Amino acid sequence: MILENGVIRTLDASLPVTRALAIAGESVVGSVGTHETMLASPEVVDLGGRCVVPGFTDAHVHFLQWSLAQRQVRLEGTRSLEEAVAVVGSAVGEAQPGRWIRGTGWRSGEWEPAVEPTKEALDAVTGETPVAMMAKDGHSLWLNSAALAAADGDLQVPGGVVEVDGDGEPTGVLREESAWEFRRRFVFAQIQEDERLDAMREGLRVAVSRGVTSVHDKDGWLGDLRLFQRLRAEGMLTVRVWQSLPHEFLDSLETLDFSAGLGDAVLRAGYLKAFMDGTLGSRTARMLDGTGVEITSREELEEIVRRAARIGWPVAVHAIGDRANRDALDAFEATRAEWAPRGLRPRIEHAQCLAPDDLPRFSQLGVAASVQFSHATSDRDLADRFWPDKAAGAYAFRSLWESGCVVANGSDAPIEELDPLAGIRAGVLRTIDERSAWHPEQALTVEQALEATCVTPAWLSGDERRRGKLLPGYLADLVVLSSDPVEDLAGCEVVATMVGGRWLFNPPPWG
């Protein structure tokens, strides 16, 4: 197949832009028309001046949670506690009695007046229907009394926070490990396997329509590896998956001597996930001033990285606050002799708030920053409020890039929408509304944002010679865009998506 008459961005410095691309089977075989005559009777696709880029990888997705969230009560954009409660109330009216109401997206920091939610606020509209509403950042869970009753007072776990009122009674808000443990035991436990798979099938359709050809999944703890295998067996797994598993699985992986990367070009288990701290929005990010919640200590992370390295697994660790990032960098530094000679590619997820001294350490150590360009534009008000003196190292994507650090971009869906073009716009424009750019000195170029969305995620999964660029021998994973994003970032849209040489979204011809 020949794609011709367009702008093809290979994302390789040797030949950044070509006019045509030849594809045979699942791979790219050449560019600029040199191969047309070598193919017996090639199918020619007229791009009509459109642009082709390598398929997008979302380097941080909670695929199951995002798929399920598409069907849940959504509280994004609510401007007050009353408004959020009203949205929940109308959902209760439509629900079957006794069934749990699940939802996500609230952010108390954006409410006017500024208040924390309570179980009483929900009880007023929910009655006996149990309700569990996850915060937008995924680190706080807001419950009503009917939901709390399920735990029968058993709410406190190590690394967790149970918010209590003046009488020592739970307010209905759980944070960090307490929120996650509750969700695992009572919320996810209600969702049957068929419902999960059904949501993921729909999620895959949406992902491909947005140009996603590959994801780094973070929901290994929820059984995504098993679910993706089932979808694979059905022939429904249309995007490539680099699967993380929780570090709590280390014992089993050691026993099995299970190597990272086991799998194939579509589905592989590849890295371990750990958490250092909480988040900005939940005020649980671990800061150098001593505030925040520690989920994993520096010493514990060292042990995890050492054990993982010995059986060949790289570690991805969530770190938001400047203290959490320093501890994570210290742990990777202390264990470098274990992971570096094995060629492992460790990463810090989010890297949101960095002490300026720590910024160059990513590239010095060889630790990648797996960031979310859209978090900068979504978090700008909270960051200005809670981190007013941290601007030099907060969401400092350009500084990280210029320090030589490997920067990969993801959405953290469902926290942001799984939509790579939206992420690229956020990274370049540093604004998603009518306001001017937030810290424009940290903006990336379109080419850099594309590289962080196509090339570096492929490097992180060890695929740098197979994917992420449109070069001969590389897998034909690509996106057709309505226009060239370098010329028209605001206007360009996904027209079609190809994975492994097959059109999986909107095959040509296009009108």
* Nearest distance, CB of residue 389 and Zn ion, angstroms: 26
Closer Cβ to Zn ion, 419 or 484, answer by number: 419
Closer Cβ to Zn ion, 4 or 277, answer by number: 277
Identify which range of 96-104, 209-217, 404-412, 487-495 contacts Zn ion by CB under 5 A: 404-412
The dihedral region occupied by 174, where left means phi > 0, alpha psi between -120 and 50, and beta the remainder, is beta
Closer Cβ to Zn ion, 335 or 370, answer by number: 370
Identify which range of 120-128, 186-194, 411-419, 430-438 contacts Zn ion by CB under 5 A: 411-419
Contacts of 41 (CB under 8 A, 6+ apart): none
Dmax (CA) for the chain in angstroms is: 81
Contacts of 313 (CB under 8 A, 6+ apart): 253, 260, 270, 271, 272, 344
What are the DSSP calls for 308-376, one per residue?
A: HHHTT--EEEEE-SHHHHHHHHHHHHHTHHHHTTTT---EEEE--B--GGGTTHHHHHT-EEEE-HHHH
Beta-sheet pairing, 170-175 with 240-246: unpaired
* Nearest distance, CB of residue 316 and Zn ion, angstroms: 10
CA neighbor of 237 nearest in space, from 213, 273, 254: 213
Beta-sheet pairing, 262-263 with 240-246: unpaired
Closer Cβ to Zn ion, 218 or 390, answer by number: 218
Contacts of 393 (CB under 8 A, 6+ apart): 322, 353, 354, 355, 356, 358, 359, 399
H or E segment and range at residue 82: helix 81-94
Cβ–Cβ < 8 Å for 57, 454: yes
416 contacts Zn ion (rule: CB under 5 A): no
Residue nearest to Zn ion (CB): 412
List the structure tokens of 223: 């059984």
Q: What is the dihedral of CA 193, 196, 199, 202, to 10 degrees?
A: -70
Closer Cβ to Zn ion, 163 or 217, answer by number: 217
Identify which range of 211-219, 337-345, 386-394, 454-462 contacts Zn ion by CB under 5 A: 211-219
Identify which range of 172-180, 407-415, 469-477, 481-489 contacts Zn ion by CB under 5 A: 407-415
Q: Give the footprint of Zn ion on residues 460-479 (CB under 5 A).
A: none
Closer Cβ to Zn ion, 276 or 504, answer by number: 276
Give the x-and-dash track for 213-232 against Zn ion (CB under 5 A).
Answer: -----x--------------
* Nearest distance, CB of residue 221 and Zn ion, angstroms: 11
Identify which range of 229-237, 245-253, 405-413, 465-473 contacts Zn ion by CB under 5 A: 405-413
* Nearest distance, CB of residue 274 and Zn ion, angstroms: 12
Cβ–Cβ < 8 Å for 52, 479: yes
* Nearest distance, CB of residue 15 and Zn ion, angstroms: 36
Closer Cβ to Zn ion, 58 or 412, answer by number: 412
Q: Burial-class residue 472 by CB neighbours within 10 Å (0-12, 13-18, 19+).
A: middle
Q: Give the footprint of Zn ion on residues 307-346 (CB under 5 A).
A: none
* Nearest distance, CB of residue 293 and Zn ion, angstroms: 16
CB atoms within 10 A of CB 429: 20
* Nearest distance, CB of residue 318 and Zn ion, angstroms: 7
Closer Cβ to Zn ion, 377 or 411, answer by number: 411
Closer Cβ to Zn ion, 327 or 412, answer by number: 412
Q: E strands of 202-259, at which residues?
A: 212-217, 240-246
* Nearest distance, CB of residue 400 and Zn ion, angstroms: 18
- How far apart CA 122 and CA 144 sit, in angstroms, is 5
Among 217, 327, 412, 484, the residue binding Zn ion under the rule CB under 5 A is 412
* Nearest distance, CB of residue 380 and Zn ion, angstroms: 19
- b/e sequence 86-117, b meaning 16+ C-beta within 10 Å: ebbeebbeeeeeeebbbbbbbbbbbbeeeebb
Total binding residues toward Zn ion, as defined by CB under 5 A: 2
* Nearest distance, CB of residue 136 and Zn ion, angstroms: 12
Residues interacting with Zn ion, by CB under 5 A?
A: 218, 412
